[in-house]
Amino acid sequence: MRVENRTIFEGDNLHILRDLDTDTVDLIYLDPPFNSNRTFEAPIASEAAGAAFKDSWVLSDLNKVLHGELAERDPTLYYAISAAEFSHGKSMKAYLIMMGIRMLEMYRILKPTGTIYLHCDDNASHYLKMMMDGIFGRENFRNEIVWQRAATSKGNLKKGLARDSDLILRYSKSNDFVWNPEAVTIPYDMADLDEKTKRQYYYVDPDTGRLVSHTSITAQTQDPDSHLTYEVMGVVRTWRWAEARMLKEIEAGRVVQTSPGNVPRYKRYLDEQKGKMLNNIWVDIPNLTARSKERIGYPTQKPLALLERIIRASSNPGDIVLDPFCGCATTCVAAECLHRRWIGIDLSPKSFKLVKLRLEQRDIVERVIHRKGNPKLYQQDQTYKHTIFGLQDGRCNGCQILFPFSSMTVDYIVAKSEGGAETLDNLQLLCSGCKLMKGSGTQEQLIQKLEDEGILK
């Protein structure tokens, strides 16, 4: 499906992702539900009023066919997700199936040089990383970014440390990916300097008030003129720079002699340096507060600065950025401001209205396209087997053991010869062992045999 720039889709992102072309998106950022077991609503008086969503999951919320589809497309992933049920319950399994089937589509549409950033928190981050390792490959894991939402901890610390950070999992699709390191380089701040840098930039230039360091003038080996000699008071010296450059820098006031007789030194200003390279812990972008100018009241709104850093780091102007859970469209606004093309998807019609409003607030008047997804256009080749697999939670309906999708066959509970119908309530999946044990007998006879042999209790 061809998608124009500045398109907001309204609808289930799974349906829309399935219709996007393979290898077409440069960068995906998603801030999906976190499985927090909470319900979020925007304040009535805010610009986002009416936006609300439930972030709790049960297996009955899912289309049962997704179990079978996921198990057929990626059996290893399905059983890794099923393992989460034993340690974390059915809610986590439902959440991960919802995420996993969508993540397979995101992998498909991402370009080989593309990058994906998954925003989450400690409710499910460990399971999501396991899932991402399986889909994108452990070798393509790049970073676990810790974004500290607040500079100081809040709340009652009697029972432990405050949970005031989110996690952002960064994966590429291959070893050849876009990375712009200048995007994660921030200007030096004297308060944040390490001791070595503080000792180096200790001097305040009286003429400019800027922090300055007097460094040695090193010879430029690639410049043959830098080895010319000159004589001062009977002492032969070597030019560290070519004479023309040295005279130019002296005239500009960048070469100083700190004391008579001292070797001239070069003035380097702190604010001219590249800055410091960030690591994977980001503490310099605070979360939005009620007083933040960009705040529009959306319950899980993220700062523009956070998305701008991500977009700068892993895409170039003109690239396509996708946010499949775009909410109040912060990703879309950031992409527009940075001259990227963008696509947003969300269940709520508010996303289209909010992205237009937020662009207009920045005096950006561009046509935003509003499209609605039609589930009827995205029907997959789904069979009874997919649905039954979901209804049985991937277990054989005889021995109740988890089996791969491909290892189970459809069986009539009441045989067709006995008047059994080809309907969901009369169909089941059995493993090869139970199928053989049942033979031409009844389901009751199969269960009795399994109990007699101690397989079922």
Ranges of each domain in the chain: 7-185+277-378, 190-272, 395-452
**Spatial distance between the Cα atoms of 169 and 77, rounded to a whole number of angstroms:** 18
- CB hemisphere CA count around 346 (13 angstroms): 28
Q: Enumerate residues 6+ apart whose C-beta is below 8 A from 176.
A: 112, 113
C-alpha 144/C-alpha 451 separation (Å) is: 48
Q: Which CATH architecture has domain 7-185+277-378?
A: 3-Layer(aba) Sandwich (3.40)
132 and 141 Cβ atoms separated by less than 8 Å: yes
Report the DSSP pairing between strands 203-204 and 185-186.
Answer: unpaired
| Domain 395-452 top-level CATH class | mainly alpha
Strand-strand pairing, 427-431 and 408-412: antiparallel
Contacts of 198 (CB under 8 A, 6+ apart): 190
Residue 211 near residue 201, CB atoms below 8 Å: yes
Quick one: pLDDT at residue 221? 45
Query: In this predicted structure, what is the pLDDT of residue 193?
Result: 67
Q: What are phi and psi of 328, to 5 degrees?
A: -90, 10
Spans in the chain with pLDDT lower than 70: 39-55, 151-156, 188-193, 218-240, 261, 273, 374-382
* Token output for 251: 């005239």
Q: What is the pLDDT, as a whole number, of residue 62?
A: 77
Torsion from C-alpha of 48, 169, 118, 33, nearest 10 degrees: -70
Beta strands 203-204 and 281-282, pairing class: unpaired
Q: At what angle do helices 75-88 and 90-109 cross, to 10 degrees?
A: 150
- Alpha-carbon span 76 to 98, nearest angstrom: 16
Task: Confirm if 435 and 409 have CB atoms less than 8 A apart.
Answer: yes
Say what the pLDDT of residue 414 is: 92
Nearest to 179 by CA among 319, 69, 84: 319
Give the Cβ contact number of residue 390 at 10 Å. 21
pTM: 0.79
List CB contacts of 348: < 8 A, sequence separation 6 or more.
10, 50, 51, 53, 327
Instruction: Give yes or no for a contact between 90 and 122, defined as CB atoms under 8 angstroms apart.
Output: no
Give residue 76's Cα distance to chain centre. 22
Distance of CA 227 to the CA centre of its chain: 52
Q: 451 φ, ψ to 5°?
A: -70, -40
Q: Which two tokens stand for residue 234?
A: 């009977």
Q: Give the integer Cα–Cα distance in Å for 423 and 132.
A: 36
Integer Cα distance of 378 and 369 in angstroms: 21
7-185+277-378 matches 395-452 in fold: no
Q: What pLDDT score does 416 carry?
A: 86
Tokens of residue 431, six digits: 């493993």
Whether the CB-CB separation of 114 and 170 falls below 8 Å is answered with no
Partners of residue 429 on adjacent β-strands: 410
Report the distance separating Cα 423 and Cα 416, nearest Å.
11
Contacts (Cβ under 8 Å, ≥6 apart) of 284:
186, 278
Strands 165-172 and 203-204: unpaired
